[in-house]
Chain A
Amino acid sequence: MSVDKSTVARIAQLARIRVPEEELDGLAGELDKILGWIEQLDEVDTDGVAPMTSNAEGMTLRWRRDEVTDGDRRDDILANAPEAQDGHFVVPRVVE
C-alpha cells in the first residue's frame, strides 16, 4: 500500500501535529519509503504465533494498596506550567 498526501494529512491530524500543506508531499514520500522497507515483514510466516507485547512477560503485575504515596505538591507541578493562575493551569476556552 502506498502513503499519499491525504493519508499524511489524516495521520498528522490524528497525531495532533500541524503539517504545512507544502510539506505533505515530501513527508508522504519519506513515509512511503520507510513503510515499503518495513513491509519485508510480509515474508515472515507468523501463522499461529502469539504477539509479544513486553519483555516483562511472565512477570505478574504487582498489587499495592490504593493509597496516596506522594502528593500535596501543587505548586511544584504548576511551576512548569506555561501559564497558571490561582492554582490552576490556564488553557484556551473549550466551550464558547
Chain B
Amino acid sequence: MAELTALTIAEARDALARGDCSARELAEAHIAAIEAARDLNAFVVETPERALADADASDRRRAAGAAGAMDGVPVAIKDLFCTEGVRTTACSHILDGFVPPYESTVTARLRASGAVMLGKTNMDEFAMGSSNETSHYGPVRNPWHRRGDNRPMAPGGSSGGSAAAVAAKLCLGATGTDTGGSIRQPASFCGIVGMKPTYGRCSRWGIVAFASSLDQAGPMTRTVRDAAIMLGAMAGFDPKDSTSADLPVPDFEAALGRGVKGMRIGIPKEYRVDGMDPDIAALWDRGAAWLKEAGAELVEVSLPRTKYALPAYYIIAPAEASSNLSRYDGMRYGLRVEGRTPAEMYENTRAAGFGAEVRRRILIGSYVLSAGYYDAYYLKAQKVRTLIAGEFAAAFERCDAILTPTAPNAAFALGEMIDDPIAMYLNDVLTVPASLAGLPGISVPAGLNADGLPLGLQVLAPAFEDETVFRVAEVLEQAAGFELAPRGAG
C-alpha cells in the first residue's frame, strides 16, 4: 500500500474498509506530516488530540459496522468555518481568541459522515484576498516553486492554507469557501482540484460571512472523485440558511465514469483576456482538444460582458462585506480596544482589528452604499449582474458545460503583487462571473507552465448541474495525467 499520506480519499476509504489501515494510523501519519511542514504555515490551529479522538471513535464505528461515507478520512477545515470548542478567527485580529459555542452545518455534516478533523487552515483575512497574504497569521507558502528560483510562492487565496495542505499531503481533503474564486484559484495555483458547487448546495450557516449572496463552501482534494465524495458529505438542505436549496443531494460520485460523448462544450471567446499567460492559452486549447477526442462537440459561445463581471463584483462583494462586518464592534466577542464611549470603542477596535485589505473593502462598500452613490454604483452593479447571469443562461442553451482556464496567471512570488490591489483583483477575472451567476465551477490541474508551476482548467455548468461539472472534470483529469509533485515541498 502507498504511504498513508499519499492516498486519495477513495483509496483511504477502501483501505479502511479492507482493514489495511486504521483511522488512527491515518490520523497519526497526517499529524506527523503537519508537524514536519510547519514552515508552509498552512495551519493556524492544529488539533492533534481531537484528530486522534475522532479517529478512535471512527475505528470503533467501523468495528461496529456503522461507518459513514467519510469515516476515518483526515481533513482540514478552513478557518472560516465555526468549529465548536476550536478557535475560529477567519484569520483576522478582530476575532482574536474567539471559540465558537456551535458548529457550522458543513463541518457538522462532515463529522456526521465520520471525517477526522486535523485542524484549521490559514486563509486571507475574512476570505478577502487572492494570495493568502492578508492573513493576520502571515502568508502560506505554496509547496511549489518556480524552476530554478527558490523564492517562496503564494498559494493563491483565499483558501490558500487548505490548498497548500492538500498539495503537500498534510490532509486528504480540505474545506474551502469561494466568494469570487477562493476555492478555484488556489486549487489552480497549488495543482489540486477545487470545486465550488452551485450557490445553495452547501449551507452557509456557521461560516463567517463575507458576501452572503456569493459565499459558497466546497471541497479541495487531489482528485475529481475525491471532490465528489467530499461534496456529498458537505452538501444538503439546511433550514438554518434561508438560501439553502431544498433539493436532494445527488450521488455525485455516481456521475463519474460516464464520459463526455455527445456533450456540447462551450468555449467563451471573451475569456481570452489581455495579459493571459500564453502557456495558459495553450493549455486551454489542449483541454478543448482532449474533450473533443473524448467525443464532445466544441461550440463557440459568447459571454460579451465578461470583462464587467470583476468591477461589478468589486461593488457587490465589498457592499455586502461592509454590512456583514459591522458586527465586529468589540462588545460581545473578539478584540476590544478601549474607548471612553461605545462609539470610540467601535472605532478603536475596528481600526486595530482589521487589516489593510479588509479596511479598504469596508470603506469601498460603505462608499458605494452611501447616500447619493447607491444608484450609481450598487444598483448599477446589480443590474450588470443580471446581464451576466442572463448571458450564461443564453450560452447554456447552446452547450452543456463551459471550459475556460481557472486564472489568467500561475502562482506568483509572495510580495510580488500585494502592493497593487487591482492587479491582485484580476486574479479572479475568470472565476468571478460564475460566482455572480451562482453557477457550479471546478478547477482541475491540467499541466505546468514554462516555470514548472501548475495550471488549472475550469469547468462551469448550469445551476444544480454539479454532476455535469464532475463528469467533464474527470475526463480532463484523465487526459491531463497531471502529477502532483511540488518541488521543494515541506
Instruction: Report A's interface with B, CB cutoff 8 A.
Output: 3, 7-8, 11-12, 14-19, 27, 30-31, 33-35, 37-44, 46, 49-56, 59, 61-62, 64, 73, 76-77, 79-83, 89, 91-94
Contact = CB atoms under 8 A, between A and B. Distances in A.
A32 to B, nearest CB: 11
Given A18-B347, A18-B348, A49 B362 contact: no
A18 B335 CA distance: 15
Contacts of B438: 55-56
Interface centre among A17, A27, A35, A62 (most CB of B within 10 A): A17
Contacts of B259: none
Contacts of B342: 91-92, 94
Contact of B363 (A17, A37, A81, A92): A17
Contacts of B308: 40-41, 43-44
- Size range of the chain B interface in the assembly: 35 or more
B235 to A, nearest CB: 15
Contacts of A61: 242
Interface stretch (B4-12, B134-142, B181-189, B377-385): B377-385
A37 B425 CA distance: 11
B386 interface: yes
Q: Which 7 A-B pairs have the closest CB atoms?
A: A55-B438, A51-B382, A82-B336, A80-B333, A76-B101, A46-B383, A55-B199
Mostly helix, strand, loop or mixed at chain A's interface?
loop
30 contacts: A12-B363, A16-B347, A17-B350, A19-B351, A30-B360, A34-B422, A37-B314, A38-B315, A39-B311, A44-B380, A49-B386, A49-B387, A51-B379, A52-B386, A55-B199, A55-B200, A55-B463, A56-B245, A59-B245, A62-B246, A64-B239, A76-B101, A80-B97, A80-B98, A80-B332, A81-B332, A81-B333, A92-B344, A94-B341, A94-B342
B359 interface: yes
B339 interface: yes
Between A14, A19, A40, the greatest number of chain B beta carbons within 10 A of the residue's beta carbon is seen for: A14
Nearest to B318: A34
A87 B455 CA distance: 54
Contacts of B252: none
Contacts of B214: 55
Given A59-B243, A91-B331, 8 more contacts: A7-B367, A17-B351, A49-B383, A52-B382, A52-B436, A55-B200, A55-B214, A92-B341
A19 B307 CA distance: 33
A89 B329 CA distance: 13
A16 B346 contact: yes
B364 interface: yes
B330 interface: yes
Contacts of B367: 3, 7, 11, 31, 35
Contact of A15 (B332, B334, B363, B384): B363
B387 to A, nearest CB: 6
A39 B363 CA distance: 17
A18 to B, nearest CB: 4
Given A15-B350, A18-B348, A53 B242 contact: no
Contacts of A83: 336
B199 A17 contact: no
Contact of A31 (B333, B340, B363): B363
Contacts of B347: 16-18
Nearest to A50: B386
Contacts of B344: 92
A90 B307 CA distance: 49
Nearest to A82: B336
A4 B199 CA distance: 38
Given A37-B422, A53-B382, A11 B370 contact: yes
A42 B351 CA distance: 33
Contacts of A11: 363, 366-367, 370
Contacts of A56: 199-200, 242-243, 245, 438
Interface string B165-206: 000000000000000000000000000000000011000000
A14 B366 contact: yes
